[in-house]
Amino acid sequence: MKRSISLRILIAATFAAVSVPAPAEDKGKLPAQYADVAHAFTDLLALQHVSKRAFDDTLSEKAWERLLDEYDEEHVFFLQEDIQRFEPMRRKFDDAIREYDLSSVSDMERVYRKRVGECVVLATNLLLRIAADPDADAGLRSKHGGDYCYRGEDLRWPESPESRLKRWEDKLRGEMIDRLVASELDGEGKGWNVTVAGIAHELAEEYQGYLDALEKPDDEGVFQQFLSAVGNAYDPHTDYLNPARKRMFEAMMSLSLCGIGISIDSRKRGVVIRTIQANGPAGRDGRLKPGDRIVGVGEKADAVESVRGLSVEQVLRKVAGKEGTKVVLEVVAASGDRKPFRIELVRETIKLDDEAAKSRVETVSLGGKSYKLGYLKLSSFYGNLDMQKVLAADLSGGRSATADVAAELKTLGKAGVQGLVFDLRGNGGGRLDEALTVASLFVGSGPVAQVPMFGYVQTMPALRADEGGGIFRKPLVVLIDRKSASASELVAGLLKDRGRAVVAGDKQTHGKGSMQIVLPLGMESGEAHVTQGFFYRITGASTQVKGVTSDILLPSPFNEIRQMGEGQMPNALAWTSVPPAKHRQDWDMPCHVPELERRSAARRSANAGFWKHLERVRHVGAAFNRTTLPLDYATAKEQKRRDRRFKVDMIDRSGVPYGFESDVDVRGKDGMPVRGKDVVLDESLNILSDLVELTGGAEMPPRKKKK
């Protein structure tokens, strides 16, 4: 299930079977004005989406399937009879929207609420019986065959309440064993008394959150989920953003947010702190740590409210607020004492500096020679400025990836670096105009991309020299991984196509070659993010699905995860191409790739640290590709112990990696990868050193003027 809801229950004092009332039937009915927004949204898609296609029966079927998956991905709530009840709407969402009738969405929500109520009662009673059973401990640790399957194309909805009960028995056994072995491993050497009864109570406490979420009506969330399914029927990146999400998106694009400087996500144990901004209130305070669980939020210490049942979006709204105001968090630490503690912080406007361009000078000794090299990390193509202001160096009131990268390159140039590693790993894209101008900083005149506009393919030119184009002319290695997407793929592809750089990293980038336009839907009605077309490399090839391939394979764990990549996303658009743009090479870095690969392969084969890294890559891929939980205690414990060794303890069952980040254990306090820990970075610097030697320390040759 993908709705972000925490899981918690207040257990009765006795172990008797409990009865949890199902949500009232009248809740979940969407306000009438949402029908107007849905109508405007689909009308806009018909006009603006690259397919120029009206929302029809076929797209309705895709939206219907997507919505069911959002409600019940594990197939543990709905019964086959429910799916049959929803079947008439499979190809009629389009008719419903045209008729301003969203009653079918409300009906699906009501049935969902009813089934969740039934399943929480079922799960809670099973867990409390386990807690009261003196033989439960031995039973859970006894030999047991089979697995609990939570993901896969062959997953079916239960045909009856009896088959659903069996599925829940397997689900709870798998979850209890998973929780038990994790707690035992956490408590090794600490004297913790871990019991099956305690785990059962803990898990039961969390499950009540399903009902808590439904007892706090969130019409905006239900509608967001529905319209997202409608947009995703066209492609994975066409979406609806309600007003709250719209404000969050704008803040991220400007690298400025008012709050306490944390990011959170929803895991099976609730709302968890994912990252902490070093320059924010939480980072300076130092008491909060990644992995800590938020259980309450308030404006005052005596007015803290539980966040159980709230989505990540709703929790973020509570944590964020006006500058200078106080917020109190109730938190359970990720390790150590599990008793909740409270922390009071003052909100402030935070510049998300960890996302901004950063660079440093690196010294590498290789083959008896010493090289002074530059390293530049860019996590996104951000900006909230008009490009004319960027070109005029007018940065008042905002940030620009182009201006920041240009400043870092000038600093590196003054330091006398002989080459640069440009790290685009994890860069999910951002503004297309920023990507084009950032790319222009490394190349001469000529095309940087092709973009269909007004019925024809327009060639986008690089910045002229008097606009700041071509300011860095030294040898270049570009680092990519499977999370490098969209704008970062366009930049990596251009630098490769113009012969300007050698690309190293995962086998290929993500493969998102489409571009979206943001269109408002009216006052306080949110906005539509619509895929309006593709962008193309100067060779004419799209990056869609195929991405940009690396010249030298330095794999991250993402390289082995099957779910990663555009082609694995539902309703992904197909690869396309256009005729190539007329262009000249800036340099001929690809000619050095065979020799660079030969030298790099020799180093990697003799590097024990790189072999250990490859072992981790394989294990992480295997862990994320799992679709089952073991139902045998000994098997689960050995698997968990092995996962801990490779730092992949938590696996997101939706297929999105949240328990593992490719460089989470190699970053310093400034968010930058640390040499000696990041073997991919280390080897990329070695490759760059070889490239400097092979080019004789030359710079990109100047363009000969045309006669």
pLDDT, mean of residues 667-686: 88
More confident residue, 17 or 74: 74
- Whole-number Å distance between alpha carbons of 116 and 618: 37
Token output for 133: 């059973």
Q: Answer yes or no: is 483 within a domain.
A: yes
Q: Answer yes or no: is 653 within a domain.
A: no
What's the distance, Cα to Cα, between the start and end of the chain in Å? 65
- Whole-number Å distance between alpha carbons of 488 and 498: 16
pLDDT of residue 4: 30
Give yes or no for residue 262 having a pLDDT over 90: no
For the chain, how big is the Rg over CA atoms in Å? 27
Phi then psi for residue 409, to 5 deg, are -65, -40
- Whole-number Å distance between alpha carbons of 214 and 224: 15
SS3 string, 103-152, reads: HHHHHHHHHHHHHHHHHHHHHHHHHHHHHHCCCHHHHHHCCCCCEEECCC
Across-strand partners of 229? none
Q: How many CB atoms lie within 10 A of CB 299?
A: 15
Binned at pLDDT 50, 70 and 90, residue 1 comes out as very low
Give yes or no for residue 2 having a pLDDT over 50: no
Of 27-31, 449-453, 479-483, give the lowest mean pLDDT range.
27-31
Token output for 620: 């992480």
- Whole-number Å distance between alpha carbons of 346 and 352: 17
Q: Answer yes or no: is 666 within a domain.
A: no
Say yes or no: 473 and 534 in one domain. yes
Q: Answer yes or no: is 312 within a domain.
A: yes
Nearest to 87 by CA among 104, 70, 74: 104
Binned at pLDDT 50, 70 and 90, residue 12 comes out as very low
Say yes or no: 376 and 285 in one domain. no
pLDDT, mean of residues 67-95: 96
CATH code of residue 550: 3.90.226.10
Are 554 and 504 in contact by the 8 Å Cβ rule? The answer is: yes
Among residues 178, 203, 234, the one where a domain terminates is 234
pLDDT of residue 580: 97
Are 281 and 261 in contact by the 8 Å Cβ rule? The answer is: yes
Integer angstrom CA distances of residue 75 from 85, 232, 290: 16, 21, 31
pLDDT of residue 314: 78
Say yes or no: 224 and 263 in one domain. no
Binned at pLDDT 50, 70 and 90, residue 252 comes out as low
More confident residue, 658 or 414: 414
CATH code of residue 266: 2.30.42.10
pLDDT of residue 608: 96
Say yes or no: 218 and 87 in one domain. yes
Say yes or no: 517 and 561 in one domain. yes
Of 189-198, 323-332, 650-659, give the lowest mean pLDDT range.
650-659
Residue burial 491-512, b: 16+ Cβ < 10 Å; e: rest: bbbbbbbbbbbbbbbbebbbbb
Q: Answer yes or no: is 598 within a domain.
A: yes
Residue with tokens 């979206």: 516
Give yes or no for residue 168 having a pLDDT over 70: yes
Give yes or no for residue 392 having a pLDDT over 90: no
pLDDT digits (tens, 9 = 90+) for 538-591: 999 999 999 999 999 999 989 999 889 999 999 999 999 999 999 999 999 999
Q: Answer yes or no: is 265 within a domain.
A: yes
- Whole-number Å distance between alpha carbons of 445 and 632: 63
Nearest to 105 by CA among 31, 162, 156: 31
Say yes or no: 201 and 304 in one domain. no
Give yes or no for residue 438 having a pLDDT over 70: yes
Say yes or no: 317 and 359 in one domain. no
Number of domains in the chain: 3
Say yes or no: 531 and 417 in one domain. yes
pLDDT of residue 440: 96
Nearest to 695 by CA among 552, 589, 550: 589
Task: Specify the amino acid at residue 410.
Answer: K
SS3 372: strand
pLDDT of residue 16: 32
Among residues 351, 386, 421, the one where a domain terminates is 351
Say yes or no: 542 and 683 in one domain. yes
pLDDT digits (tens, 9 = 90+) for 625-647: 899 999 999 999 999 999 988 87
More confident residue, 263 or 231: 231
Range of 583's domain? 354-607+678-694
Binned at pLDDT 50, 70 and 90, residue 249 comes out as low
Give yes or no for residue 624 having a pLDDT over 60: yes
Give yes or no for residue 194 having a pLDDT over 70: yes
pLDDT of residue 266: 65
Across-strand partners of 228? none
SS3 298: strand
Give yes or no for residue 323 having a pLDDT over 60: yes
- Whole-number Å distance between alpha carbons of 221 and 40: 18
SS3 533: strand
Q: Answer yes or no: is 621 within a domain.
A: no
Are 556 and 425 in contact by the 8 Å Cβ rule? The answer is: yes
Winning range, highest mean pLDDT, from 298-312, 517-531, 544-558: 544-558
- Whole-number Å distance between alpha carbons of 178 and 176: 5
Binned at pLDDT 50, 70 and 90, residue 255 comes out as low
Say yes or no: 196 and 285 in one domain. no
Integer angstrom CA distances of residue 648 from 216, 252, 289, 618, 652: 34, 28, 18, 12, 10
Among residues 294, 320, 351, the one where a domain terminates is 351
pLDDT of residue 295: 86
Say yes or no: 418 and 476 in one domain. yes
The chain-wide mean pLDDT, for the chain, equals 86
Q: Answer yes or no: is 660 within a domain.
A: no
pLDDT digits (tens, 9 = 90+) for 110-162: 999 999 999 999 999 999 999 999 999 999 999 999 999 998 888 999 999 99
Say yes or no: 117 and 207 in one domain. yes
Residue burial 648-679, b: 16+ Cβ < 10 Å; e: rest: bbbbbeebebebbbbbeebbeeebbbebeebb
